Structure 1
Amino acid sequence: MKAMVIDGDGKVPIHLAEMPLPEIREYEVLAEIHAASINPIDFKIRDGKVKLLINYKMPLILGNDFSGVVAKVGAKVNRFKVGDEIYGRPRKSSIGTFAEYISIHENDIALKPKNLSFEEAASIPLVGLTAYQALHDILQLQKGQKILIQAGAGGVGTFAIQLAKLMGATVATTTSEAGTVLVKSLGTDEIINYKTEKFEDKLRNYDAVFDTLGGKVLEKSFNVLKSGGRIVSVSGLPNARFAKEYGLGFFKRMIFSAASYKLTTLENRHNVHYTFLFMKPNGDQLSTIANFIESGKINPVIDRVFSFKDTQKAMEYSELGRAKGKIIVKIR
């Protein structure tokens, strides 16, 4: 099969290669991929920034979510049949959606929302699961609470805003002037232009923060929380608590504890709870998300669709940081 691969760590271009057709185990399906999306995790993997969590062998097929059709089922698969239109996010040890086919566990996929094209459906799995696990599982967002969602016009942000509004929350977000119309159309209650305003000066006593940027933005986000508030980040540093929950050994726990010392200090100073989210595949949650989409409560937001042969161009466009919504690679 044709696939887009990298041959080593670092900012190396992704390139087209012939790779073996994946074999399936008894609980896996072989999915014929129709579309995939670009996500920040693709760059982190390419640049070797997740090696402490998982070390990939090269050459590696990149890509972390997709939509497509079931081409073959394993002997013990009972949730899907050949011909089913599906979407999903493979396990971190089994990525590779920038390809014509992928083998994936049946628990990591769901039936594609009926009202979406394959391109639209491919925009959902990673950002949908990330937002759902952040807002529902970790932040436990309640009706009437206030949440700051960083970078609201991005792929994760556009989904998270819609989910937060669906959960009954008051939403603030940061964006540039170019993203203002978009985030307002999604239901945002307060919009902060990060180029001209400081969100940490304008917002106070928030119940929750969903950070997608990390660094100084994450550190400043602690200032907007009320005592007892929660902050979850997909771009910050993992801490010792995460390492323990993730089942990492003592040495890595110590590394993460030292690296996240400043965040732990901020957590204690503001009397809030900080969590690093390393999203997990979950087909049941994708089914829930599909119901939201089919009922019109959440809609995909797509910036641009690239052809399969232009996957490297799609990566380069994504790295500019200007996309409003998701960037899609059309495989078929």
Structure 2
Amino acid sequence: MKAAIINEFGGTEVLKIQEVERPVPAADEILVKCYASGVNPVDWVIRNGGNDFLRPILKLPLILGWDAAGIVEEVGSDVTDFKKGDEVFGVPNFPGNGSYAEYFSAKANQFALKPKSISFNEAAGVPLAGLVAWAGNFQLGQLQAGQQILIHGASGGVGSLAVQFAKAKGAYVIATASAGNLEFLKQIGADEVIDYRNQRFEELLQNIDVVFDASPLRDENERLKCISVLKEGGIYVSVNVDFPFSDEIKEALAKKKAKGELVGASGSYVSAEYLKEMAQLIDESKVKVVVSKVYSLEQVAEAHKESETWHVRGKLVLEVRKAN
């Protein structure tokens, strides 16, 4: 089978299209005929050699891609939830071989039936970003209907889904982005929008229940501003797991009797149940999947370069094969 593989760490030049052996699913796995793979920042972080959090667990050669949609080709002997021919979406085994390939194997409990109302390309843009957004909002953020949530980096892959999930569950959503994305955020359900370049959210807001920081910015002062707008007992969630909380951040949280969480620090948020809930919201037209650009597998280097700009609205997707 054809796959985009790295045999060494480095820039986009290390991405090679090669013929490799088709994987064989273990007893608890499914073999998926891949139609599309989402492209996420973690893909190129790993291509570059990872960070302190990832480096010790990476092995070469490696097929990147941990965001996928396709059709079940084969099921392991212990798998009862799927059968050959099922259309599925989910997260391949991280950080093992992923979905930049014509076939991949993955734990069955990290997949769910694909939303019926969207394409494979759209479905591949949901799982990883969606699970981080879901965990940030609900598992860690403990967001409830009627509460206020501030979402930073709201126009990106994680942020745009976090906005819609929060709104679908009855929260009041305040979202930050650059001026060019504010109208987009209103269209996907944000109740208030803030231009982070020209407005100071820390002067405009107070008593926020949850702050979900989906921005890639690793800045101590920005974190302190986020904590300053929390209500007493509020929750601050960041996606930047490689940027741990400093003593100053911990003190600021303690003064507010607030909780600080890093989403992605463990794999507990990779849940088929969450994926099923997302699929239902998508099929009920409560959540829209925003794919900004689709690339072929052979264009993987271009997709990485686009992702590395940090200025992607929604998701980038690799179309591994055309749907009929």
Partner Cα distance (2:137, 2:93) in 1: 21
Deviations 1:114-156 (A, max 9, x none): 1111001111111111111111111111111111101111111
The runs of 5 or more residues in structure 1 that have no matched partner are 240-258
Give the aligned CA root-mean-square deviation in angstroms. 1.7
Residue in 1 aligned with 2:44?
Answer: 43
- Asked if 1:311 is matched to 2:300, the reply is yes
- Tell me if the contact between 2:33 and 2:72 (Cα under 8 Å) persists in the aligned partners: yes
- Tell me if the contact between 2:154 and 2:214 (Cα under 8 Å) persists in the aligned partners: no
Note closer, same or farther for the CA distance 1:183–1:95 as it changes in structure 2 (3 Å cut): farther
Partner Cα distance (1:72, 1:186) in 2: 37
**1:231 offset after TM fit, Å?**
0.8
Normalization by structure 2: what TM-score?
Answer: 0.91
SS of match in other structure, 2:4:
strand
Residue in 2 aligned with 1:11?
Answer: 11
Deviations 1:302-321 (A, max 9, x none): 11111111011011011112
Normalization by structure 1: what TM-score?
Answer: 0.89
Residue in 2 aligned with 1:321?
Answer: 310
- Asked if 1:60 is matched to 2:65, the reply is no
Partner Cα distance (2:242, 2:197) in 1: 25
Partner Cα distance (2:256, 2:242) in 1: 18
Name the stretch that deviates more: 282-291 or 116-125.
282-291
Residue in 2 aligned with 1:246?
Answer: none
- Asked if 1:33 is matched to 2:34, the reply is yes
Partner Cα distance (1:6, 1:201) in 2: 46
Partner Cα distance (1:311, 1:144) in 2: 42
SS of match in other structure, 1:159:
helix
SS of match in other structure, 1:157:
helix
Residue in 2 aligned with 1:244?
Answer: none
- Aligned counterparts, 1:74-93, within 5 A: 74-93=76-95
Deviations 1:54-98 (A, max 9, x none): 521111111111000011111121111111111011232434111
Residue in 2 aligned with 1:219?
Answer: 224
Name the stretch that deviates more: 158-167 or 42-51.
42-51
Percentage of matched positions with identical amino acids: 37
Note closer, same or farther for the CA distance 1:261–1:201 as it changes in structure 2 (3 Å cut): same
- Tell me if the contact between 1:159 and 1:298 (Cα under 8 Å) persists in the aligned partners: yes
- Asked if 1:271 is matched to 2:257, the reply is yes
- Aligned counterparts, 1:119-130, within 5 A: 119-130=121-132
Aligned length: 313
**1:266 offset after TM fit, Å?**
2.6
Residue in 1 aligned with 2:272?
Answer: 283
- Tell me if the contact between 1:215 and 1:236 (Cα under 8 Å) persists in the aligned partners: no
